[in-house]
Amino acid sequence: MNKMIIVGGMVITLIVISMIYGASMNPDGNEQRSGGETWDFRISGPEFHGKTTIMASLGVIEEGTYEIGFVPMGDSPKKIRLIIDGVIPENQRYYLDDPVKTEIFSGEFILERSLVDTGVSKYYTWEYLGQKFVQFPKTEGETNYEITIQRGGNLEGSVSISLTKIDRSI
């Protein structure tokens, strides 16, 4: 009976601690997701080994603020640089020698390892540190976007990268 009370108390304590931690991570409570991920890309497998630069299409993205998300692991690349370009269609360029692309975001992310000690066990978590919000501007007509991913460090490690629209401005 005493063991059940102790275990129950520990479970309640862990729930309260996780609620406090969650509230501290989003103190304003006003950031709302608006329908899930807009784009995601997983870099995993031998076809990506040794490749430092990967380019992908984001497609047409509507105006707004987006959050860049990562799902790293211990063997993920130590450094990632993301460059997002808007691809300007030929019929929207004023002069023929106007640039074909316009950069709307460039950011570098460093993988950080943190030790979590619960008192019962120890484990590591990983997180990419850097500016994780990007503002896609309002454009005339549809604008396609491209992303360039430059990796440094462990090029055999996997990582997932995503863009999620949020309901707030930067």
Domain boundaries along the sequence of the chain: 1-30, 32-166
- Which of 33, 43, 36 shows the shortest CA–CA distance to 72? 43
Low-confidence residues in the chain, pLDDT < 70: 1-2, 7-9, 11, 14, 16-36, 89-99, 168-170
Q: What is the pTM of this model?
A: 0.69
CB proximity list for 67: less than 8 A, separation 6 or greater: 132, 133, 163, 164, 166
Residue 85 parent element (H or E): strand 79-87
Between 3.30.390, 3.30.420, 1.10.3470, 2.60.120, what CATH number should domain 32-166 receive?
A: 2.60.120
Specify the residue for token string 């497609």.
59
> What does the pLDDT read at residue 167?
73
